[in-house]
Chain A
């Protein structure tokens, strides 16, 4: 234990007196920003793809769109996220001649990636809405798109909110690989502290605790949200 006490002191020394906390705050910020923006982009893409996939497919145009969406979902669900990050950062950017930071690329790739997963969740959500809702909207003269936007999708989102919360947790954890493209997240921050003290035990332990705290906070948020949804169902 004496040993651990010394390691702890070393960690505190770097964390507080050598500005290690600044790195951690920055890393935490990047982790959260990538996960939150990734989720937002993912939800938008997910809704779009899910809507395409439930459109009736008598005509050619919806079929083509549907095929494109299948390929998209297949690619992002069929390859590891690290590979996607590397491909976008080291292959796509040079080809397109773009200069983007690791954080920007991470937001983009995590958005596309979670879009693929969320589209499947969303599709389930849309299919779980009673078909009579679409019928009633169409029978009144609303277009397919208008009925989708005003009636079906809001109900679908309500149904899948808890699942989306879990997707958010998964995103927070998965962002721990963004250092592959040079984005400074929590891992980079604690790795920095560890390298400066030649001592990794305490930094990585603290990092694990931070992840656990974030995930527990989100879980609590989901629980509260579920409870309030259930309450509004009863009141309804």
Chain B
């Protein structure tokens, strides 16, 4: 699914990632843990090139997306991202937040087909047998479909009644659940989570983790940076420990938590698992 090969990232002289290699398979749930400032966010943000890697390769959908010449926007449409601070669009209602990207992509496709049809109609003048033009939907149909899908997703998290309000009226937990289904609306191959519960009040952490668990059960591929060790133990099939820009340990959760080998990891776990 994603093959990270010797990924490096520095900001000026500051080397944040020093050669990270990781292979994420379809259906994998990889949890990334590590001390604050160790480069976890930077690593995650390099995966969809929100930060441009300064070295190495990221192979996704048969392309090296670390190469600046690829059209990153197309690849990002297959890679969801969920942020610590939700980042719902403040000027859009809840349902519009979910519809935005699907409508954008489908309208783009429609415009492309229209262009192709125009050229077909020209070249058909010189053909013996006419080539059939592409079927074109309408803007209205695209919106209706996207709205239907968005309402279904809202139903899944029990927030249909919030469809037409603005995000500022939602609780933190509701915002994050909307943000998660917003990324689902694009039917992504993989979703990246950067500390999705760190900005939440404690009583709201559970509802977000539940939703993520249900995605895991459906076989969604996920890469998750989190401090929720219980969640990692229960849901991950691989846990990696990053410190000073390197992967120091990578193991299934039983082994990772039960029998850690790296001394720094041991130290870290002793601190967080009191």
The answer to whether A151 touches B169 (Cβ under 8 A) is no
Interface residues of A in 135-154 (CB under 8 A from B): 135-143, 146, 150-151, 154
Count chain A residues whose beta carbon lies closer than 8 angstroms to a beta carbon of B.
21
Q: Knowing A132-B87, A141-B77, A142-B73 touch, does A233 contact B168 (C-beta < 8 A)?
A: yes
The answer to whether A142 touches B104 (Cβ under 8 A) is yes
From A133, A138, A155, contact of B50 by CB (8 A): A138
From B73, B81, B90, B168, contact of A143 by CB (8 A): B73
Alpha-carbon distance between A155 and B87 when the two chains are bound, in angstroms: 13
List chain A residues, Cβ under 8 A from B50. Answer: 135, 138-139
Quick check: is B186 within 8 A (CB to CB) of the other chain?
yes
List chain B residues, Cβ under 8 A from A140. Answer: 76-77, 80-81, 100-101, 182-183, 186
The answer to whether B104 touches A155 (Cβ under 8 A) is no
Alpha-carbon distance between A196 and B232 when the two chains are bound, in angstroms: 89
From A130, A133, A141, A235, contact of B74 by CB (8 A): A141
The answer to whether A138 touches B90 (Cβ under 8 A) is no
Task: With both chains docked as a complex, state the minimum distance between the C-beta of B187 and any C-beta of chain A, in angstroms.
Answer: 12
Quick check: is B233 within 8 A (CB to CB) of the other chain?
no
A selection of 29 A-B contacts at a CB cut-off of 8 Å is A130-B90, A132-B85, A132-B86, A133-B87, A135-B50, A135-B87, A136-B83, A136-B87, A137-B89, A138-B76, A139-B50, A139-B83, A140-B100, A140-B182, A140-B183, A140-B186, A141-B77, A141-B104, A141-B186, A143-B73, A150-B100, A150-B104, A151-B92, A155-B90, A233-B168, A235-B166, A236-B165, A236-B167, A236-B169
Apart from A136-B83, A140-B81, list 20 A-B contacts with CB within 8 A.
A130-B87, A130-B90, A133-B89, A135-B50, A136-B89, A137-B89, A139-B80, A140-B77, A140-B80, A140-B101, A140-B182, A140-B183, A141-B74, A141-B76, A141-B104, A146-B104, A155-B91, A236-B165, A236-B167, A236-B169
